[in-house]
Structure 1
Amino acid sequence: MTTPSTGRYEIAVPHADFGVSRTEIEHVPGFADDFAAVLESTSGHRSTIGCVIPAYNEEASIAGVIRSLLAQTRVPDVIHIVVNNTTDGTVRVASEFAGPHEIVTELGEQFTEVFVHDIGKNPDKKVGALNYGYSLVEGYDYLLGVDGDTIGDPRAVEMLETEAISDSRIGGISAIYSIDTAPIKGTIAKFLIAGQRTQFAAFNLQNLLRGRNMAVLGGQFSIFSTNALRDVMKANHQRTPWVKDSEVEDSLLSLQIKSAGYLTKISPYARADVGGMTTLRAYDAQQVKWTYGAIELMWPGQRGDTKGQPFHPNLRLRWFENLSMLTNLFVRIAFITLLAGSLSINAFVFSPWWLVPSAAAVLLNLRIAMSMQDRQRSDILFAALVVPAEVFMWIRLSHFLRSWFRFLSRKKVDNWAMQAKAESGSGGGHWMPLILLVIVIVALGVAWALLPPITQSAILWIGWPVVGVVTVVQTVLMLFKLLRRHQGFKV
């Protein structure tokens, strides 16, 4: 360990297992004792908070993340940046903040210390970094997990702590997530960010209206009770809170916290801006990884080390999302097919009733946009112009299909590595759904042309009523959402 003039900066040697217990740490000279000293210098709050920031190639964003934490009204008692597998200047930038900081806020004088740990090559990636960080803060009351590209609102930590200490049953609380539009440049990037902001808003609103029960305590900006994490480890015979069994480590931990008898909540006040995906390639890889991991948790039975929990209460929203995506896919493909078939034999008759579902969807998207606390003109236009939201839905459907095909094929794929590759600008798998769609449309067109007229008529006679019934059900559900009170929540 060295002590440069800028503060304290540690190069940590990675362990084979990042689930290091406090007993094991005490055998490393100058390791646990050094960080325990920070705990003794806390500012007298009702609880203690240790912040862990897993960082991988975050050179461009890590400084802003650390500054936002040091600017909190309630500053974490210690901040550990755990750099893993990085190939850029993350360590260099983060180390500029290393060392003790005395800060005066409206809550009084506060003390924190920033440590930077470069654990080098880490086969467990973010999971390994999180567990390494946990081993450093397990003596604190709460672990605040913050991603290396997430900026919290100045009162975010204060709000999370206030609610966490108000109820001992709370095992973890997530902030409300959105994406800052200010630094986004380019038409495609702005379109994707508008879609992701709507996606975040809808998800946050659903959880808030479900008694603020959070299905997934996202690692972007969430606070966890260390008592709950210890109970999770004991109940699941784990040496660490996070395990690498799942593609979505935060979803799995949320399920385990709930199963251990704790509540998983979303704060109605704490907010944070996360790093959005600004290219189709990167967004595709991220969504496929998330959806694949969710399917793995939902699937009955055992797949590898991951046991499916299809009836877990935290997965009800996931089931609804997948059923909704499947319905959206069926309606769109069936409508295009039947419309083309009807036009080919001059049998299509337009009815204004077909505009009702589209109108309901626009109104629902507009209401979601209006529920955003920091809504922008782009959010309103995204919802009102129909085409952007429809194109974004097709993009999401492609992720849905790719995730299920990858899962059902049982092909072993490192989705973390694929996301990192996509974010660096490599890979072209995101075009595969579009290619397949074109192939399917051409095949359906050829097959339709080969059918006799009586068969074509029979298909249309059966197909249109089926699509009509499904569309009516969809529209009724949208109207229920449209009329549901938001109880004053802003996302």
Structure 2
Amino acid sequence: MMPRIVAFIPAHNEEKSIRDCLAGLADQTLPKYVQLDIFVIADNCNDRTEEITFEAARDFGLNVIVLTTKNNKQRKVGALNTAWKYIYGDPLAIYFKEKSEYQELYQQSIKAILGMDADSRLAPGALKNLWDDLMSQRNIGGVMAKYTMRLPKKKKLLSKDDVHYEEKIESGEYGGPMARWWTHQQKQDMASWLLNLQYHGGSTYVLGGQATLFRPEALQEVVDKNKLDGPWQNDSDVEDMLLTWQLQKLNWKTLISPKARCFVDSMRNYHSFRQQRNKWQAGTVDLLTNKQLNVHTTHKWRLWRSQIKFLLDLTVRVLFVLLLAVSIATDQFYWSWIWITPIILASILNTILAIKTPMHRPIDVILAALLISPEIYLWVNLITFCQVWLDKLSAHKKDGWANQYKAERGATKSKLGLGLFTFSLIVGIIIYLCVRYREFLTSEPVQQAIYPYLMSGWIFLTYLTIIASIAMIYQIWTLRARHKA
């Protein structure tokens, strides 16, 4: 039996995207004498996912096996493990079932397992690149493709007289200015992360579920060592990160491919983006703090450093706004041109990142240089950071997957409007009080009482800003390398 790659594609109501995903696999150039089998797991579907999968398999000439789950409570994890058990058997089965000679040969013929999302599409040649990377060393357990968010086409290109107008809008292929802006911010964020990983050797602490090629022996060792019924676990909202840490614990290398690219869908609005990032951030924090899972990563300090950076960014901004407001209210504000240094560094850093982001637009570079887009995007992530750590201290555990699914299909509403209104109202009240009681606030006794605290605050802020500036200089230095995002 010829060696083969098998692809696991969990698909929960993915009738709009599964054909494009399979079209991407049909575009691939397979390694010499290697076959490709595709397992699409129709997970609790109530749409036309299965029907469209069979149609696409016939049209593209692909060898596709459709597995159907019913009442799967573990969502993506359960779907992936369904495909695994179909090939490698279910250790929880009550009755022992001896494998046929064909099953044994088929299992032995599998040299790589591709885990993909149904809304992802591999770039031409990506699978061959992933294969070459995986087979370059015996101790590589998994190789992940570089992810690039697909920018929606301009909504205004569609004529409202088009009989398929509503259908095309609903497909997500087209989007307005805000959807395109959100997509680019996520794409630039991903580019920054990929460039940083490549600068530090290409090792990654998460093999993303969108497109990763695994070595079967590595996954089997995770199952055996941890006494699992499948490689993927439901103990974390970030099952791909948990699996990566388990591979690293068993001394398997986990890398990103320098060439393979995968195009993935982005979150098109504030609400769905927040819910996705809440899930990711909460899952990461849980892995870092949950000792019961007994997993570790060589990148643990890098993840903690990321959390510290969020805290530093939040502290600097909140402290600056507070000190600035009190200084102006008490007429004790003095401008110094040295304060523009971190602003210039941030502008340079974000401009370089925008330029290095694949398929960027001129407007993206301009907004990055003016720090408009990076600052808005950072504040959204800081809100997520605060919410996740506050939820960590509460007794109630949220279902990240369920919240993300509801946000994506519009079942829940964003509180952004209410938040902005409340913030504007508080700012307006503070400004009104400062104007009304200006004589009192600018009186000498009040100024003398507040001055020592203001000086201490500005000094502390200066030290924090110096630390943040050094971090930006270091990041600018790393971007000089000729790595591609």
TM-score range, shorter chain: 0.7 to 0.9
Give the CA RMSD over aligned residues: 2.5
Q: Could you report, residue by residue, the CA deviation over 1:365-416 in whole angstroms, capped at 9, with x for unpaired residues? A: 1112222343333432341231111111111111111111112213122111
Once residues 180 and 477 of structure 2 are traced to their aligned partners in structure 1, the CA distance between those partners, rounded to angstroms, is 29
The reply on whether 1:484 has 2:443 as its aligned counterpart is no
2:226 corresponding residue in structure 1: 236
The reply on whether 1:133 has 2:83 as its aligned counterpart is yes
Residue in structure 2 matching 1:69, options 11, 15, 25: 25
The reply on whether 1:349 has 2:334 as its aligned counterpart is yes
2:38 corresponding residue in structure 1: 79
1:98/1:116 contact within 8 Å kept: no
Cα distance change of structure 1 residues 437 and 141 upon mapping to structure 2, 3 Å threshold: farther
2:120 corresponding residue in structure 1: 150
Structure 1 residue 88 displacement after superposition = 2.9
Structure 1 residue 300 displacement after superposition = 5.0
Alignment of 1:45-444 (within 5 A): 47-74=3-30, 77-98=36-57, 112-138=62-88, 139=107, 140-183=110-153, 184-299=174-289, 301-302=291-292, 306-307=293-294, 309=296, 312-428=297-413, 431=416
1:255/1:314 contact within 8 Å kept: no
1:228/1:262 contact within 8 Å kept: yes
Q: Could you report, residue by residue, the CA deviation over 1:111-160 in whole angstroms, capped at 9, with x for unpaired residues? A: x5112222133100000011112224552121101101111111110000
Structure 1 residue 188 displacement after superposition = 1.6
Q: Could you report, residue by residue, the CA deviation over 1:55-105 in whole angstroms, capped at 9, with x for unpaired residues? A: 122221111100010111128610111111333322222121246965xxx
Residue in structure 1 matching 2:451, options 443, 457, 461: 457
Cα distance change of structure 1 residues 323 and 58 upon mapping to structure 2, 3 Å threshold: same
Once residues 77 and 245 of structure 2 are traced to their aligned partners in structure 1, the CA distance between those partners, rounded to angstroms, is 16
1:83/1:120 contact within 8 Å kept: no
Once residues 224 and 447 of structure 1 are traced to their aligned partners in structure 2, the CA distance between those partners, rounded to angstroms, is 62
- TM normalised by structure 1 equals 0.82
In structure 1, give the amino acid aligned to 2:45.
Answer: T
In structure 1, give the amino acid aligned to 2:471.
Answer: L
Structure 1 residue 323 displacement after superposition = 0.9
2:199/2:478 contact within 8 Å kept: no
2:152/2:180 contact within 8 Å kept: no
Once residues 374 and 69 of structure 2 are traced to their aligned partners in structure 1, the CA distance between those partners, rounded to angstroms, is 42
Structure 1 residue 453 displacement after superposition = 4.0
Once residues 437 and 409 of structure 1 are traced to their aligned partners in structure 2, the CA distance between those partners, rounded to angstroms, is 24
3-state SS, counterpart of residue 299 of structure 2: helix
Cα distance change of structure 1 residues 182 and 423 upon mapping to structure 2, 3 Å threshold: closer
Structure 1 residue 318 displacement after superposition = 1.6
1:98/1:115 contact within 8 Å kept: no
- TM normalised by structure 2 equals 0.83
Which has a greater percent of helix?
A: 2
2:123/2:262 contact within 8 Å kept: yes
Once residues 88 and 122 of structure 1 are traced to their aligned partners in structure 2, the CA distance between those partners, rounded to angstroms, is 16
Structure 1 residue 485 displacement after superposition = 5.1
3-state SS, counterpart of residue 29 of structure 2: coil
Cα distance change of structure 1 residues 315 and 438 upon mapping to structure 2, 3 Å threshold: farther
Once residues 440 and 329 of structure 1 are traced to their aligned partners in structure 2, the CA distance between those partners, rounded to angstroms, is 19
In structure 1, give the amino acid aligned to 2:459.
Answer: P
Cα distance change of structure 1 residues 142 and 436 upon mapping to structure 2, 3 Å threshold: farther
3-state SS, counterpart of residue 474 of structure 2: helix
2:38/2:64 contact within 8 Å kept: yes
Q: Which runs of 5+ in 1 are unaligned?
A: 1-39, 103-111
Once residues 285 and 295 of structure 1 are traced to their aligned partners in structure 2, the CA distance between those partners, rounded to angstroms, is 15
In structure 1, give the amino acid aligned to 2:141.
Answer: G
2:279/2:400 contact within 8 Å kept: yes
Once residues 443 and 411 of structure 1 are traced to their aligned partners in structure 2, the CA distance between those partners, rounded to angstroms, is 34
Once residues 422 and 204 of structure 2 are traced to their aligned partners in structure 1, the CA distance between those partners, rounded to angstroms, is 35
Cα distance change of structure 1 residues 356 and 370 upon mapping to structure 2, 3 Å threshold: same
Once residues 423 and 226 of structure 2 are traced to their aligned partners in structure 1, the CA distance between those partners, rounded to angstroms, is 43
Once residues 381 and 137 of structure 1 are traced to their aligned partners in structure 2, the CA distance between those partners, rounded to angstroms, is 51
Q: Which moved more, 1:122-131 or 1:318-327?
A: 318-327
Structure 1 residue 447 displacement after superposition = 11
Q: Which runs of 5+ in 2 are unaligned?
A: 89-106, 154-173
Q: Which moved more, 1:74-83 or 1:469-478?
A: 74-83
In structure 1, give the amino acid aligned to 2:457.
Answer: G
Once residues 411 and 240 of structure 2 are traced to their aligned partners in structure 1, the CA distance between those partners, rounded to angstroms, is 26
In structure 2, give the amino acid aligned to 1:352.
Answer: W
Once residues 136 and 336 of structure 1 are traced to their aligned partners in structure 2, the CA distance between those partners, rounded to angstroms, is 58
Once residues 238 and 437 of structure 1 are traced to their aligned partners in structure 2, the CA distance between those partners, rounded to angstroms, is 48
Once residues 245 and 433 of structure 1 are traced to their aligned partners in structure 2, the CA distance between those partners, rounded to angstroms, is 32
Once residues 430 and 378 of structure 1 are traced to their aligned partners in structure 2, the CA distance between those partners, rounded to angstroms, is 28
